[in-house]
Amino acid sequence: MELALFILFGLLAVAGALNLLFQRHPINSALSLVVVMMSLAVLYWSLGAEFLAAAQVIVYAGAIMVLFIFVVMLLNAGEEEQTHGSKIAYIVGIPGAGAIFCLLSFVFLSERSHLGSTALGGYLSNAVSNISEISHVLFTSLLLPFEVTSILILVAILGAVVLARKEL
């Protein structure tokens, strides 16, 4: 079952990346990047890196994509043409979402039946968390690159605002 999840979300990530490259509209490209980021989060989760999967969703699929959308909308000074959406999204999107939902439901329900009457409580008590190790490394030996990255993102936001500003 893990192989099926890996193949499904790996193909979804590759399809989202290809869609990102071939889209003409920047908003559609950004939404394709969200699909790639969420697929990567599922792949991280399936490898046992729960913290990295949660960080992928919160930081990249959440905050960074909001920043990308904001910058794209801020820099796009021209008129946008009205579109009715991608035909591929209508043809593949709804059945694909249904298939992913069915597969994930099957995986979660089969895991629940393997755990027995203890449900998730007994499973989580035996789990080893890697959050403390990651936080220790991040805030000791990798503190300088962490802070430099945040300053770099701030400079990029300020640069986008300066470039998009209209003279009165």
Q: pLDDT digits over 92-147, tens only?
A: 777 877 887 887 787 777 766 655 544 444 444 445 567 777 778 878 888 888 88
User: Cα(156)–Cα(146) distance, rounded to whole angstroms?
Assistant: 16
Nearest to 10 by CA among 48, 52, 49, 41: 41
Query: Which whole number is the average pLDDT over 31-48?
Result: 87
Asked whether the predicted pLDDT for residue 10 surpasses 80, the reply is yes
Q: State the average pLDDT for the chain.
A: 76
What residues contact 41, with CB distance under 8 A and at least 6 apart? 53, 54, 56, 57, 61
CATH architecture of the domain covering 2-76+84-128: Up-down Bundle (1.20)
Asked whether the predicted pLDDT for residue 161 surpasses 60, the reply is yes
Ordered by start, the domain boundaries in the chain are: 2-76+84-128
User: Cα(55)–Cα(73) distance, rounded to whole angstroms?
Assistant: 25
pLDDT band at 14 (very low <50, low <70, confident <90, very high): very high
Report pLDDT for 122.
Answer: 45
